[in-house]
Amino acid sequence: MARLIPARAVAVLLYHGVCDRAPIPKHINFHVSQNVFERQMRALKRRYRIASLADVVASLVRGERLQKSVVLTFDDGYRNNLLVVAPLLNALRLPFTVFVATACVETGRWMPLNEIYWRWSEGMLREEEMTELRRQIRERPSSDLPQILSALRDLSSKPSKSVEDSFAMLNWGEVRQMARDGVEFGSHTHSHCNMAIESDEKQIDELRVSKYLLEKNLGHQVNLFAYPYGKLSEATRRNLLQTRYTCALSSENGLVTQGADRLRLPRLGNDRTMWMFTGEILFQFAKQAARDAWSGLFGRASENVPATETEEHHG
């Protein structure tokens, strides 16, 4: 059924890390276990065309008709993307894109939220303390970060293996190695800040620095971007254009359709049981196919399709 649905849309899937026993609170877990991930990938490969994000963006830029496909994206830049994700996806010949927060790549530091989860998982922070620190990291400007994290300074200890497997980040050598194997990279800002609340100056700095570091290390242009926490403002869009990004992914739920706003492309999550995972993608494509059929029959624009493009495609 998945193969037969004639939707002209792309499901961009949002992942973070893949590892077993991630020490993250259950209700906010953003890592997938290896077994679940492998089953998801094999199921997708059987059912759909898996496209690279760059190809989909190129089609959007050229105003071409989208082919029904699935795109795989991974936010933050975890080392488990190299150790666990890459071997499986390379063996299955499935393209994927990793969005890195370049400050972590450069310094070997971890994402601020993961510093919190690590301490919480080892009983060094109480649940309420972890929840409060998490809220502050997500909602306050990055200039407040040293002060927020100063609460952790006294809690130094060596991370366990499962903490390391879960939270360690890629370094530049690893990024280059993955790129040589065909993995696509994009910016996820430099410091993983919430772009919706930062000043224009700070936003432009984040966009420029991460782009510069990626381009210097990869040796080619980088113009893909994903918003940390999925957060953006109108200013962020302007700043992305000014710093020459061609596409930005949010974490809003939905499919990428013809004429979609390239600076706010929606994605689908993955934190579901297997039947929910495949069912959700199927449901989204079926809904879009119905919209396409409706606009084909009645010559009306389906959602997100500007009138000019609709005429071109259906007129």
Binding site for Zn ion (CB under 5 A): 75-76, 228
- What is the DSSP code (8-state) at residue 49? -
Question: CB–CB of 113/137 below 8 Å?
Answer: yes
Q: What is the rounded (10 degree) CA torsion for 112, 114, 119, 122?
A: -170
Choose between 75 and 205: whose C-beta lies nearer to Zn ion. 75
Choose between 75 and 198: whose C-beta lies nearer to Zn ion. 75
Q: How far is the CB of 137 from Zn ion (least distance, A)?
A: 11
Query: Which amino acid is it at 243?
Result: T
Residues 6+ apart with CB under 8 A from 271: 29, 30, 32
State the Cα–Cα distance between residues 205 and 218, nearest whole angstrom.
Answer: 20
For the chain, what is the total number of helices (H) and then of strands (E)?
14, 10
Q: How far is the CB of 186 from Zn ion (least distance, A)?
A: 12
- What is the DSSP code (8-state) at residue 246? -
Choose between 228 and 259: whose C-beta lies nearer to Zn ion. 228
Q: CB atoms < 10 A from the CB of 224, how many?
A: 23
Choose between 76 and 292: whose C-beta lies nearer to Zn ion. 76
Q: How far is the CB of 13 from Zn ion (least distance, A)?
A: 15
- The SS3 assignment for 42 reads helix
What are the backbone dihedrals phi and psi of residue 226, each rounded to the nearest 5 degrees, phi first?
-130, 135
Q: How far is the CB of 98 from Zn ion (least distance, A)?
A: 11
Question: CB–CB of 71/55 below 8 Å?
Answer: no
Tokens of 40: 């998801």
Q: How far is the CB of 76 from Zn ion (least distance, A)?
A: 4
Q: How far is the CB of 156 from Zn ion (least distance, A)?
A: 25
Element (H, E) at 69: strand 69-76
Q: How far is the CB of 228 from Zn ion (least distance, A)?
A: 5
Choose between 8 and 188: whose C-beta lies nearer to Zn ion. 188
Choose between 112 and 228: whose C-beta lies nearer to Zn ion. 228
Choose between 85 and 301: whose C-beta lies nearer to Zn ion. 85
Which residue has its beta carbon closest to Zn ion?
75
Question: CB–CB of 32/40 below 8 Å?
Answer: yes
Query: Which amino acid is it at 56?
Result: V
